[in-house]
Amino acid sequence: MNPDTRDSKQRRPVRRVVIVGGGTAGWMAAAGIAKVLGKRLDIKLIESDEIGTVGVGEATIPTLMNFHNLLEINEQEFMAETQATFKLGISFEGWRNVKEDYIHSFGVTGTDHWTAGFQHFWHKGVERGLAGDYGDYCLELKASLEHRFAHLPDNGMNYAYHLDASRYAKYLRRLSEPRGVQRIEGKIVRYTKHEDNGDVRSVVLESGQEVEGDLFIDCTGFRGLLIGDAMQEPMEDWSQWLFCDRAIAVQTEAVADALPLTRSMAHQAGWQWRIPLQHRVGNGIVYSSRHLDEDVAMKQLMSNVEGKALITPRVIKFKPCQRKHTWKGNVVAIGLSSGFLEPIESTSIHLIQRSVVRLMQTFPTDSISQADIDEYNKQCNSEIEHIRDFIILHYHVNNRTDSQFWIAAREMSIPASLQHRINLFRETGRVFRVPNELFAENSWIQVMLGQGIMPRSHHQSADLMGDEELKHFLGGIKSRVDRIVVQLPSHQAYVERYCGRA
Ligand code: FAD
């Protein structure tokens, strides 16, 4: 659509924002908008206790810190309220091959070098028998392996959180209401539209209450009540690359110390997560219904959890897909209503946060302009396509021969953008981050190496180092990492002390 296709006569000033849905997406949107524009806007959030939330989504990535800074959240308070623990990365177990594990950590590996990344020097070291594992040169990775954690000066440790999703939504609600968000409880049963431009005019609750708005933020989860039903924006299906379409989630008692890692344990048709919180553990099995029956998946999950189940396991159906236009007319879809790939790299909460920030950056100066809508959608699409490629990488590059699921993932054709990245790394060891891309070079390198791609060559600047110099260079980084790690307390002890439980 061109900027002028929203006829100026059909434009309305945006003063009333209605957030539809109160899961993680709804309350993050409410908290963000209220903080930035609360003084200028009338903000309402409608949620239905009867419908409830999806109830999963407990592993995050370090970018959440930016959102918390925006909201001026006190970390200790947040962690106590959401029973959060620290997360230094994801442990991928059995992904490359059965019984072969690696960690995708949040840290920097080695040091930065302007011509060539650290991996080139490490590769040279491997070739000459002078280097250890790639992970030996990453503080966060080594700390996570030893289950240690502490805040270090100058943001010396890059981390995220595991959190209780339902407590998080409640916490954000407590921050949002004093900043002017009005919560309405009730089930929306229909909507009305403006005749002139097809925008949503109001939503109507079961009680008969009608809530009018100028801008609607659809956070109704997989239902996609406004973006799907009212605006008829279709989903683009990505299941040709991402086979998993089911999850079964269960919460269990915490019977062991919390690790600063999300565990991702591959099985014959998908993987299983284990997310340690302070008061319990979140578990779930993710699988392809084409390759595994529900009762087998259920048994498999329940035979691989520690501690007593605290809830009845819940089956969640999903489709890996994304809407091309997550902002259409006066409806912006945020959260699961905009699409969902799968939870492997904990990217959904990040995408919610990015959408909220992006919406603030493109917020109508007065009425909604099509140029803003187009820019917003363009940025969303570019971001999600890179994340999609990164996720496909985990499945596609594998050496597993134990099931059709893994063989098919290896044999499928993949997006050209991902094939290029793999070829480039395999041939030269090079990785380039695209502007505004979520995952940095070190994430791509860790996962490509972890899944079994060893580059064939390295940058010539690494050849300029003699053996002694290279040994000294690599050894210096490793000793620094080891020296710091050994002084860190256990993650469990640190969380207890930090959150006032010790
Ligand atoms: P929901 O939580 O489903 O909320 C929808 C809201 O809309 C609810 O309040 C509901 O009451 C309301 N609603 C719906 N219809 C109506 C109606 N008619 N009237 C009134 N209200 C209505 N993300 C991560 O970042 N990390 C993870 O580890 C992670 N793991 C996941 C595991 C699985 C199996 C799945 C499926 C997702 C996972 N996600 C994860 C994604 C994460 O759960 C979601 O992004 C996040 O919870 C946001 O959900 P939501 O708010 O969009 O939807």
Tens digits of per-residue pLDDT, 234-282?
Answer: 999 999 999 999 999 999 999 999 999 999 999 999 999 999 999 999 9
Q: How far is CA 192 from the centre of its chain?
A: 34
The structure tokens listed for 129 are 């028998």
Please report which confidence band the pLDDT of residue 225 belongs to, taking 50, 70 and 90 as the band edges. Answer: very high
Q: Which residues make beta-bridge pairs with 306?
A: none
Whether residue 31 has its Cβ less than 6 Å from ligand 1:
no
CA of 453 to the centre of ligand 1 (A): 35
454, with CB counted inside 10 A (0-12, 13-18, 19+), is exposed
- Is the pLDDT at 4 greater than 80? The verdict is no
Q: Which residue's C-alpha comes closest to atom 30 of ligand 1? A: 57
Q: Determine whether domain 14-58+164-237+323-368 maps to CATH 3.50.50.60.
A: yes
Predicted-complex ipTM score:
0.99
Cα of 220 to ligand 1 centre, how many Å?
7
* pLDDT at residue 2 tops 70: no
pLDDT of residue 7: 64
* Tens-digit pLDDT profile for residues 167-191: 999 999 999 999 999 999 999 999 9
* Rounded Cα distance, 349 and 219, in Å: 12
Q: Would you say the CB of residue 387 lies under 6 angstroms from ligand 1?
A: no
Instruction: Give me the mean pLDDT over the 214-227 stretch.
Output: 98
- For residue 446, is pLDDT > 70? yes
Give pLDDT, residue 502.
60
Q: By mean pLDDT, which of 106-115, 134-143, 322-331, 445-454 is the weakest?
A: 106-115
Cβ of 283 closer than 6 Å to ligand 1, yes or no, is no
Query: Does domain 246-317 fall into CATH 3.30.70?
Result: yes
Q: To the nearest whole percent, how much of the chain has pLDDT over 70?
A: 97
As a whole number, mean pLDDT of residues 83-103 equals 98
Instruction: Say if CB 409 and CB 395 are below 8 A apart.
Output: yes
Overall residue count recorded for the chain in this entry:
502
Contacts of 438 (CB under 8 A, 6+ apart): 61, 63, 347, 350, 383, 386, 387, 390
Q: Which amino acid is at 191?
A: Y
Average pLDDT of the chain to the nearest whole number: 95
Q: Residue ranges per domain, the chain?
A: 14-58+164-237+323-368, 106-153+391-487, 246-317
Which pLDDT value is given to residue 1? 46
Calculate what percentage of the chain has a pLDDT beyond 90: 93
Determine the pLDDT at residue 155.
81
Confidence of residue 5 (pLDDT cuts 50, 70, 90): low
Please tell me the least confidently modeled range out of 14-28, 109-123, 362-376, 437-451.
109-123
Task: Return the minimum-mean-pLDDT range out of 3-12, 13-22, 343-352, 356-365.
Answer: 3-12
Q: What whole-number distance in Å separates Cα of residue 357 and Cα of residue 481?
A: 35
Give the Å distance between the CA of 485 and the centre of ligand 1.
37
CA 349 to ligand 1: nearest atom: 25
Calculate how far, in angstroms, residue 173's C-alpha sits from the geometric centre of ligand 1. Answer: 15
pLDDT of residue 10: 67
